[in-house]
Structure 1
């Protein structure tokens, strides 16, 4: 932190503490805020104008002001043939346009001054609500009802009403030489783009809102409708959490599709299960065919699909689907690097060698800088030995003969224990001693601990050799950066010292490494050896693959959702992001969900886990003289019933029920929510106001 002394307007001096990276403007702004003259208290009129009701009124006025502004501008352009033939009539409309512009600008200044006077700044929620409730926007939604049911149609609708909303945003600050119609076109374009994206979000609600909205008795009340639209995602989140889904793991694009499906059903008076729809979307995104029971998680449907799969003449389609599902899961999990990974020994060797090359390059750079400095100064940089001598004596006391003789010889050549320095110790000498230390790394923990202590002491001695910004400053800085990088990336230090065997390298520094350490390792490999980075990524993929399928020698093991989820949790999202893109991380989590939908049995589902149900049914159908058995077989293998179960399972559709709200209430909800298309256009065009 840096300290600054400033003089206040009254002549008093004050000390200010600011971050080292604070700019002069930052410091001045802070000083002015502390010592400027006190602000005048807001007037009663300003307090009313800046209140929530006042902000709502201002928001309701915006589209009306914009329309009033466009009228004279448009008539001026029309009567003057676009400015090519000015005349008395066009001059009249020009004066009217300027008058309206001035009125709007003055009104905007008054409103913003009122907000400033009461200490409000930033996002204006009250004004946005006013935009939603504006008679102009309600009229737009009434005149342009949502008729499209396809995604493309909804995008087109959103662009249209968004552009209209952008047009209905007043231009309150027209600069000199700025074109009104150019600004208006920019507002319309911004509104169209935003409306096309946000309309499928703001208007897409479904069963969750339908189920919970009954608690709001006045569904036709615009204020209640506006509040409900803001709570859409919150209600969907609650519904997902009820079935164990994690909202933060669902990509926004997928949530947009979910919202689109829900609002389409809502407009048709249907009731949908958002969690089931999410499961269906997960299957679709991974191109894995589902079954009805897996999507609905209905215990009875799920169990009947599983139990029927082994019944001859009935369950073959279900059996084929289950096999295809597992094959696709294997293919998908393997595509994240597991199929391309090498054995851990070879992978560890490759990573260690890549990191060793990187460290050698850094050491070479340091050496070159020292040589340049020595050549320019005609002398070497003497490394002080006082601290090293003290550390060496302490290490000898603590570890005794655990210090290898080769290392002892190098230290004693310097006279560290005699109290008399025997030779000049240069940076090159320090590097030579470090090499000797690294060459003596062993499997004995005590020896390695002693060597690590001496290694740090030699590094500290090098860093203490400071010529106060002289010719050796750049070399010393490079050495400090190299040592700091070794500390920040333990795998780099281990590779440079050879302290970790290749067999353990991947597990210790990639799979089980600390998240920050792994992020540093991944970045270093990606910048210096892309092939080694890819192999490290493949090893992470192989870890997930083994968790999902075990040692899958035959290639047909069933996906284990519990083991896979445990591996994902232990690796953690941030560590995965060191190797995979956000989209790939989302897919890895999606694979876990789909695998769970397929192989995790719903509570109370009567699934025959021994796979004998089909065999029993087939066997009993061939035993003569068993009336009861025959009756049971006829019941279980009833052609119509079983085929219905199979057909329903293969159709794999999310369950649809009757909406909790009446069609009139639903129509009103949709109508209110479509106001969001125009409102989003106005919100996007606000910066161009």
Structure 2
């Protein structure tokens, strides 16, 4: 950015002088004046910085939203395939036909239900299964128990009554703790064993099968927990509208930080999805800065608008998709844009003093002389144009004195100090009025 004194000092006098000088230069068509072009170039630099970060790319809401939503669905598909593979391995184990102790299971389950006063809350279908197991009417094997656990899990997720869910949980834990039936004694006479002829223990292979099913079930629980961890994930799996997916589920205030944070890792693992979110954020900031539908060539940058958009999204959410240095750059752009258009209380465009006032005087004289001078041969070239240039030069000279803007404002002598005669000021108590600042 090219600085000017007023944009560094933010002093109302400097702002007034600079605004008047720029208007005067533009009004007189003085191409040698720098202020209008400096303002134009600075505005273009701010807009261009946003374009460099993705603002120049076309905004494809449907394409970007589809990319992010499909990335989330792909992660869920991968988790589902893993669960299916683990269940397949568990079903292939030899121990899935190992017998469990049905009487011990039902006794423990009924005791736990009675102690928690939940016996009446158990769904009838589960109670019937327990009765059949206790009577030995079904082969209570590892495989049967796993199927019953799956059914209980489905009932728990679909139950709206808290006591029913608790009762089902009690039975589920009892199934997990159901003991295997003790294996019959092998080689009771302790005869020398022939290598390769002793079968593996039914209890051992049964436990291996149980462990395999537990691993598969844990993977399924992890998948369901991931699905329910964030509204963003749930909306993607439900098939939310791709056109507004990023705006509504990531950038809006309704999309809380925690929900977005839980899915950010999944999005950032896919470069295309991460890029889609970043470009969408930059476009939102650009719309706030130059107006929705504005173009880079004609838009006037509003630092205030961009600052509001940055606060609306929030530093934490920005930090999920941008590096700290990038966030600081965005904030610096917004601050600089605010300085560029700042007009403080106390400034009065077209009502200035000092050099700008002299410029206005020269300009006023030029307005009176110009009609007569232009009638003379070479009058415009020799008289009118030089007077306009002088007015512009007098006006913009202080604005380009940026050293003064970097320093603090100097204290001014009290009004009237310059009107005192030296002898009077020295002879009285007014020596301080003439003291150097």
Instruction: Please confirm whether the aligned pair reaches a TM-score higher than 0.5, indicating the same fold.
Output: yes
Alignment of 1:41-80 (within 5 A): none
| SS of equivalent to 1:336 | helix
How far did residue 290 of structure 1 move? 1.8
Is residue 12 of structure 2 the alignment partner of residue 299 of structure 1? yes
Deviation track 1:361-405 (CA, whole Å, cap 9, x = no partner) reads 011111111111221255499xxxxxxxxxxxxxxxxxxxxxxxx
Q: 2:3 aligns with which of 290, 310, 314?
A: 290
How far did residue 579 of structure 1 move? 0.8
Is residue 228 of structure 2 the alignment partner of residue 487 of structure 1? yes
How far did residue 596 of structure 1 move? 0.4
| SS of equivalent to 1:602 | coil
Q: Contact conserved, 1:561 with 1:600, CA < 8 A, in 2?
A: no
Equivalent residue number for residue 471 of structure 1: 212
Alpha-carbon RMSD: 4.3
CA distance in 1, matches of 2:41, 2:49: 12
Equivalent residue number for residue 346 of structure 2: 604
Is residue 404 of structure 2 the alignment partner of residue 649 of structure 1? no
Equivalent residue number for residue 538 of structure 1: 279
Equivalent residue number for residue 332 of structure 1: 49
| SS of equivalent to 2:53 | coil
| SS of equivalent to 1:332 | helix
Q: Contact conserved, 1:348 with 1:503, CA < 8 A, in 2?
A: yes
Change (3 A) 1:530 1:472: same
How far did residue 622 of structure 1 move? 7.4
CA distance in 1, matches of 2:82, 2:5: 63
Equivalent residue number for residue 366 of structure 1: 83
Deviation track 1:2-46 (CA, whole Å, cap 9, x = no partner) reads xxxxxxxxxxxxxxxxxxxxxxxxxxxxxxxxxxxxxxxxxxxxx
Deviation track 1:432-464 (CA, whole Å, cap 9, x = no partner) reads x99xxxxxxxxxxxxxxx99979xx9xx98x95
Q: Contact conserved, 2:228 with 2:234, CA < 8 A, in 1?
A: yes
Deviation track 1:268-311 (CA, whole Å, cap 9, x = no partner) reads xxxxxxxxxxxxxxxxxxxx112111111111221222222223
Q: Contact conserved, 1:336 with 1:541, CA < 8 A, in 2?
A: yes
CA distance in 1, matches of 2:46, 2:365: 30
Change (3 A) 1:346 1:364: same
Change (3 A) 1:546 1:553: closer
How far did residue 547 of structure 1 move? 0.8
Q: Contact conserved, 2:318 with 2:327, CA < 8 A, in 1?
A: yes
CA distance in 2, matches of 1:559, 1:452: 55
Alignment of 1:176-187 (within 5 A): none
CA distance in 1, matches of 2:148, 2:284: 43
- Equivalent pairs, count: 304
Q: Contact conserved, 2:290 with 2:302, CA < 8 A, in 1?
A: yes
Change (3 A) 1:418 1:482: closer
CA distance in 2, matches of 1:359, 1:551: 36
Q: 2:256 aligns with which of 514, 517, 541?
A: 514
CA distance in 2, matches of 1:617, 1:320: 24
Is residue 53 of structure 2 the alignment partner of residue 311 of structure 1? no
Q: Contact conserved, 2:149 with 2:172, CA < 8 A, in 1?
A: no
Determine which structure has greater relative contact order: mean sequence separation of CA pairs < 8 Å that are 6+ residues apart, divided by chain length.
Answer: 2
Q: Contact conserved, 1:348 with 1:505, CA < 8 A, in 2?
A: yes
TM-score by length of 2: 0.59
Change (3 A) 1:451 1:317: farther
Q: Contact conserved, 1:311 with 1:617, CA < 8 A, in 2?
A: no
Change (3 A) 1:379 1:289: same
Q: 2:65 aligns with which of 341, 348, 351?
A: 348
How far did residue 549 of structure 1 move? 1.0
Change (3 A) 1:659 1:608: closer
Change (3 A) 1:341 1:368: farther
Q: Contact conserved, 1:301 with 1:645, CA < 8 A, in 2?
A: no
Q: Contact conserved, 1:305 with 1:646, CA < 8 A, in 2?
A: yes
How far did residue 545 of structure 1 move? 1.0
Deviation track 1:57-109 (CA, whole Å, cap 9, x = no partner) reads xxxxxxxxxxxxxxxxxxxxxxxxxxxxxxxxxxxxxxxxxxxxxxxxxxxxx
Alignment of 1:268-279 (within 5 A): none
Uncovered stretches (5+) of structure 1, i.e. residues with no partner: 1-287, 382-414, 435-449, 626-633, 661-689
Deviation track 1:117-176 (CA, whole Å, cap 9, x = no partner) reads xxxxxxxxxxxxxxxxxxxxxxxxxxxxxxxxxxxxxxxxxxxxxxxxxxxxxxxxxxxx
Q: Contact conserved, 2:62 with 2:242, CA < 8 A, in 1?
A: yes
Equivalent residue number for residue 243 of structure 2: 503
CA distance in 1, matches of 2:148, 2:58: 41
Change (3 A) 1:492 1:324: same
Is residue 303 of structure 2 the alignment partner of residue 561 of structure 1? yes
How far did residue 648 of structure 1 move? 3.4
Quick check: which has more Rg, 1 or 2? Answer: 2
CA distance in 2, matches of 1:623, 1:350: 65
Equivalent residue number for residue 316 of structure 2: 574
How far did residue 536 of structure 1 move? 1.0
Change (3 A) 1:608 1:640: closer
Change (3 A) 1:509 1:480: same
TM-score by length of 1: 0.39
Q: Contact conserved, 1:307 with 1:608, CA < 8 A, in 2?
A: yes
Deviation track 1:305-332 (CA, whole Å, cap 9, x = no partner) reads 2222223255741111111111111111
Change (3 A) 1:590 1:417: same
CA distance in 2, matches of 1:416, 1:539: 53
CA distance in 2, matches of 1:651, 1:518: 48
